Structure formats: C-alpha cells, structure tokens
Chains A and B, each alone.
Chain A
Amino acid sequence: MISDLVIDTRGLRKEFGPKVAVADLTLDVRAGEVFGFLGPNGAGKTTSVKMLLGLTAPTAGTAALLGRPLGDRPARAKIGYLPEHFRFHEWLRADEFLNLHGELYGMDRVARGAAVPRLLELVGLADRAATKLGAFSKGMLQRIGLAQALLNDPALVFLDEPTSGLDPIGRRLVRDIIDDLRQRGMAVFLNSHFLSEVEKTCDRVAFIRGGRILQISSLKEFEEEALQVVVRVGQPTPELLAGLERFGRNVALQPGDGRISLTLADETQLPALAHWVVQNGHSLYELTPTHLSLEDRFLQVVGEELDE
C-alpha cells in the first residue's frame, strides 16, 4: 500500500554547536491536508522547515517527503516553497522571475508559457507581468513569491508566513488559494503568526516550543471539545450558581455585569441547561456558547510550558 503521508518525520534534531534548535520533530502530514505549524519566536519553526527542505542538514533523525528521503531531487520537483524572508532578484521582471524559477523546476518552454500567465492571474498580478520586482510592494512580492511556489503544480507546498505583508484582501486571496490547493488534493505546510488565519485555513495544527512539539490537534477536535458558555439572568442567586455546577465546571459570576461563565463538557448540554434555568423561575436574557479561539489555545499550550 502506498502511504498517503506527504511529510513523515521521526525524531528530527538540529544542534548548532551546544545549542539545540530542534530537539525532536516527529510529525506527519497527509495529502490534501493543510497543516499549521505554530510556536513563539525562536521555537525552532524556521529550522524545522529548513531541515525538511534540505537547506539545513539534521543532526539526527529521519524524515521522508512524498515518500522519499530528505533532499531527494525528484521529490523536490513536486514541492513548492515560499520562504519567509524572501528576497528575490529585484532586477528581474515578474514574468522573467517566474520563468527563471520554472526553468529551475525543469519546466520546458511550453509548460512555462502556460503556467506563468495563469499564476500571474491567480495572484492578481496579471497587469504587472512587465514590472521589475524592485518596484513591487511587500504585498506584491509576497504574491509573486506564492506564484513561484505553485509553478510546478506541487503536491506539497511550504508557506512560511505567507500573509505577513498582505492587506485583508491579500490575506483573503491567500486563503482562497490554500482552500483550492486542498480541494485539489495538495498538502500545505503553513507557518504563520496570524492565528486567526490559521484557524480559518488549517485542518490540523502543531504547537512547537523550545524545539519540541507540545501538541498536535485537529481543529475539528477543538470544536468538539469543551465549550465556554456565558449565562445572563435577571437576578443571579447563590442557588442558581450552585445548580449550574451540575452542568459544568469553572462556574463564576463575572464582577459588574452579573454574567455567569462556565465550561460545559459538550454542546448537547445546552438545551437542558436553558430548561433548568427557566424552570427554576429565572428570566434568561442570554445564553452564549463560545469555543476557545486558537489564540486562547496557543496561549494555553505554549503559555503553560512557560510557567514551568
């Protein structure tokens, strides 16, 4: 059986002299999956990506990309990469730049002739084909960089902070492109600080800190997990608070506005809770379920470790 893992790493490690940049990178990414890679600055994200792309040699561990060992050339032909601190040859025109990278991918003239205009169109730079990259804004450079990463119709794309220089329209464009890639069965490895972006685009996320993966979860799991609920009634009483304890934990009366917050184990308890409140003679003004945002989780997972 052919594995559908596009990234499969076991215990990848990178030391720079006495400094351990990545202690243990063990993860897998499947075809058609958008995988978010999250962590604070200096967590080892960039070093991890560099190892996967063959820019930096791992000190220990094994990894396979598209079923081939790291650095394998046929595998690299099916991988796209948008570097974070990308700086491209600014004296090239946009179309020349894409043609150059197409040539480096080994694409012939016909393939490049079809791909270059299509990608310029895709990233909204069709009318800038003849503009030199030196005259591009940061956002435009990011777009042309993304086009470059998609030239070879890759099976796996690494995007390092793809939206950092973009305005909301540009971010939306990148999100749409990522969605399209997923639908076409390609895998995306996304490195980003924009947690709200990651939340909207990723299927799974890994939290990394201090060169170690702390947790890998699917965003769907998050949704099914514990739910934060806010209850507002006319007159909160101690009996009400005590009664709510039966439904969930962390029952607390918010100072000031009389709202009560609690955490439910799952969503199906909501109707029973509403029913109980009303049955006990309270007037229910508000019952708002909210999921933990990815940012909350990020701070929870990464922050907990910081307290150690």
Chain B
Amino acid sequence: MAVFVIARLTFREAQRRRLLWVALFMGAAFLLVFGIAFHFIQRDIESQLNQPEQLAFVSILLLTAGLYAVNMLVNVVAVLVSVTTISGEVESHTIDAIVTKPIPRWQVVIGKWLGYAVLVLLYLAFLVGGLMLIVYLRSGFYMNNIGRGVLMMALAALLVLTVSIAGGTRLSTIANGVMTFMLFGLAFLGGLVEQVGALIRNTAAVNVGIVSSLIMPADALWKKAVAYFQPTTISNPFELGPFAAITEPSTLMVVYAVVYLVALLLFALRSFSRRDL
C-alpha cells in the first residue's frame, strides 16, 4: 500500500537529513538541563520540607513545568518538520513523479501524515519518558495519572501537525508556516485570557478563551493535560501561569479536538486530490 511506502519514505527522510539525530541530541541536552535543575532545586527543598506529600507536591510542580516545555517543543517540532513537506514538494515538482504513479493522491497525504505522526509521537515519548525517569531517580516520585495527560499532549501535537499538513496542500510553505504558528499563538493567548478571566471572574474574558479554543484547541488540550497531572485538591501557587489549569476544559472539548483533527485531515485529503499541480 502506497500509504506505508510514503510513510517509510518520510521517516527515512528525517533520518537521512539528520533531523532525527539533531532532535534526539537536542532532546538529550534538554533532559540534561532539566535533570541538573531538578537535582539542585530538590536538594534545596529537601532541606526545608520533610513531609512526603509536600515533597511530592514540589515534584509534581517541577515535572509539570518540564512537561510544559516538552509540550511547546514537540508542537514546534511538529510544525517545523511538516510545514514544507507538501508545499515544498509541489514547489520543487518533486511531487510530480510521485502523484503520476498509479496511486490515489490522498494516500500521499495520509502517508506523510502517518510518517510525521510516528516521528512526533516517538519524540514526545522520548522526552516525557526522560523527564519521568529523572524525577523518579532523583526523588522516587512517580506521577500515577500521567498517561491520560500525555495522551492530551499527544493529541495536541497531532492537531498542530494536521494543521500544518492541511495548510501545505493549499498554501505556499511560508504562508503555511505563518498560518500554523499564528493559530498556535492565538490558542496560547486565548488560553491565557481565559485563565485571567476565570481568576477575576470576568465572563467576557473566559468566552474569548473558549472561542479561541474552538478555533484551535491545542492549548485547551494542554490545560486538560495539566488537570490530569495536578489533582484539584492541591492548591497551586502558580495559579496564573501556564502550569496550572484553573478552568479545566470539559471532556466535550477533547471530543471537539478529535473531531477537529479528523475533519481537518479529511479536508487535506480532499483538497490535495483536487488541486492542480
């Protein structure tokens, strides 16, 4: 099946163009920095606190901060690796000799999506696994409910990837890059506005946040992930920051994000199948 041929090709491209190795190396550097910081903060805190639940709370906060950075990194990487894949090959005419083969065009889009999805998810797993291992080795803390949260992060990364691939079927590389990053930024800003709105009980601000989440649900998914990471019983000193979820998005928002992703992917398949090359 051509889908898998293209997916394998996409994966091989990442490998051959050293994308994979640079990403892994930089990821390892990121984990090293986190590990060093975590070690010293933990040492400092251990000298002040001795209650196990207090120590666990600190571990949760630091791990959430690390996961927040991972979420950002993985989203940005998802855009960067995929933003040129279709538009770039259309512009260079590399795609001409591919789509004239006896394969339906939509399989080219799905194949590329699949290749990058595997790549991005593996990267997410590598970074999250690294963070958890560092925290566990240093403090013995293990976040029980991390699975669902990471699932939300994975969904957010796939969402960003899908926006970038769908944009590439219609827009030039540069226009697609701008659009995808602006959507991402809009979601981030909307999320912040919503949080402030919730804190000062301003309905208008909360609604702005909700609308921006509907336009691009990536940030809402992160909030949902944080809600899984931090049980509501704990009061969070960083209430205003992105490491907290004052307004936990509903399950409906997660369903919406899944529908959003599927619809966008279908649009991409259709759009590319009909386009003049």
Contact = CB atoms under 8 A, between A and B. Distances in A.
Interface of A: 50, 53-57, 73-74, 76-77, 79, 81-83, 85-89, 91-92, 100-101, 103-106, 145, 148
Q: Report, nearest first, the 5 A-B pairs whose CB atoms are least far apart.
A: A104-B101, A91-B16, A77-B102, A76-B102, A56-B276
Given A89-B13, A103-B5, A55 B99 contact: yes
21 contacts: A50-B277, A54-B100, A55-B96, A55-B100, A55-B276, A57-B276, A73-B102, A74-B102, A76-B101, A76-B102, A79-B100, A81-B97, A81-B100, A82-B97, A86-B93, A87-B93, A89-B9, A89-B13, A92-B12, A104-B5, A104-B101
Interface string B62-100: 000000000000000000000000000000111011111
B94 A106 contact: no
Interface string B1-44: 01001000100110011000000000000000000000000000
B60 to A, nearest CB: 43
B104 interface: yes
Most chain B Cβ neighbours within 10 Å, of A53, A73, A81, A103: A103
A47 B99 CA distance: 16
Contacts of A103: 2, 5
A77 B103 CA distance: 9
Nearest to A54: B100
Nearest to B6: A104
Interface of B: 2, 5, 9, 12-13, 16-17, 92-94, 96-104, 274, 276-277
Contacts of A100: 5, 9
Most chain A Cβ neighbours within 10 Å, of B9, B12, B92, B101: B101
Nearest to A99: B5
B277 A56 contact: yes
Contacts of B16: 91-92
A145 B98 CA distance: 12
Given A89-B9, A89-B13, A76 B97 contact: no
A261 to B, nearest CB: 46
Nearest to A16: B276
Nearest to A52: B100
Contacts of A87: 92-94
Contacts of B94: 87-89
Contact of B102 (A50, A56, A92, A105): A105
B277 A83 contact: no
A91 B13 contact: yes
A53 B101 CA distance: 9
Nearest to B93: A85
A105 B92 contact: no
B97 A83 contact: yes
A159 to B, nearest CB: 12
A106 B102 CA distance: 8
Given A73-B103, A77-B102, 17 more contacts: A50-B276, A53-B100, A55-B99, A56-B277, A57-B276, A73-B102, A81-B96, A81-B100, A83-B93, A85-B93, A86-B96, A88-B94, A100-B5, A100-B9, A101-B97, A103-B2, A104-B5
Contacts of A82: 97
Contacts of B101: 76, 101, 104-105
Contacts of B276: 50, 55-57
Contacts of B98: 104
Nearest to B15: A91
